[in-house]
Amino acid sequence: MKFLLVRHGETEWNKLGRFQGQQDIALNELGLAQARETAQELAALKPTALYSSPLYRTMQVAEEISRAVGLPVIKEEGFKELRLGDLEGVTGQEMQKRWPQVHAAWRNKPATVVMPNGESLAQLQARAWGALLKLEKYQEESDLVVVVSHNFAIRCIVAKLLGMPLAHFHRMSLSLSSICTLESNKRSRRLVCYNSTSHLSPESR
């Protein structure tokens, strides 16, 4: 079984550097262009199943893919982004000013942080990894499965796959509209490709 983990494209909050957890923010024009190019790329690969976080920005991408590949979108709550609570919509500077202790811990010891009225990375990883394991049981071993999700969620899945402690979370970077490829069979799971943006035109990167 092969999984293609797709991060959604750009929103205005991405552009402005605002933290974007489970707020339902739409893709902007660049994000929509990225979604169309991603859909074209995936159509050539002929996936057999399509799952998405139910948040609006990911569903916009999934619906583009759905039209291109002729598959229905199956919503999966486990692939939602980190619930940021009080930090939804704030910038890094605002976080540092209003929640200095949380900001310092997030930069230096991210695995220890529970977002104010939100989640921790460990909680996110548990539900996102659990959702992936559910798909492994449900899908056939020969399937090519597309999952549209989010920055932190995908990074947590990859970290779990690689056995990387969440203390090192900030050592990973994931581009908007990128694709990560995982392989899974009865013997092992492997990361085949990380953070690929080769399907995007220069104008869309």
Token pair for residue 15? 């552009």
The mean predicted confidence, pLDDT, of the chain is: 97
Termini Cα distance of the chain: 29
Would you state the structure tokens that stand for residue 144, as one six-digit string?
């090519």
pLDDT at residue 120, as a whole number: 98
**DSSP string of 61-125?**
HHHHHHHHHT---EE-GGGPPP--GGGTT-BHHHHHHH-HHHHHHHHH-GGG-B-TTS-BHHHHH
CA 35-38-39 angle, 5° bins: 85
pLDDT, tens digit (0-9, with 9 covering 90-100), for 4-21:
999 999 999 999 999 999
| Whole-angstrom distance, CA of residue 9 vs CA of residue 7 | 7
Tokens of 28: 């902007």
DSSP state of 25: P
As a dihedral over the C-alpha atoms of residue 146, residue 149, residue 155, residue 160, rounded to 10 degrees, the angle is -60
Tell me how far apart the alpha carbons of residues 60 and 148 are, in angstroms, rounded to a whole number: 10
In terms of pTM, does the model score above 0.95? yes
Task: Residue 53: count other Cβ atoms within 10 Å of its Cβ.
Answer: 26
Rounded Cα distance between 24 and 10, Å, is 13
Instruction: Give per-residue pLDDT as tens, 70-85.
Output: 999 999 999 999 999 9
Task: Please determine, for residue 130, whether its predicted confidence score (pLDDT) is greater than 90.
Answer: yes
Query: What kind of fold does domain 2-204 have according to CATH?
Result: Rossmann fold (3.40.50)
**Which residues are known catalytic residues?**
8, 150
The closest of 52, 48, 70 to 62, measured between CA atoms, is 52
- Residue 24 is classified by DSSP as -
Question: Binning pLDDT at 50, 70 and 90, where does residue 186 land?
Answer: confident
In this model, does residue 89 exceed pLDDT 90? yes
The answer to whether 39 and 69 are in contact (CB under 8 A) is yes
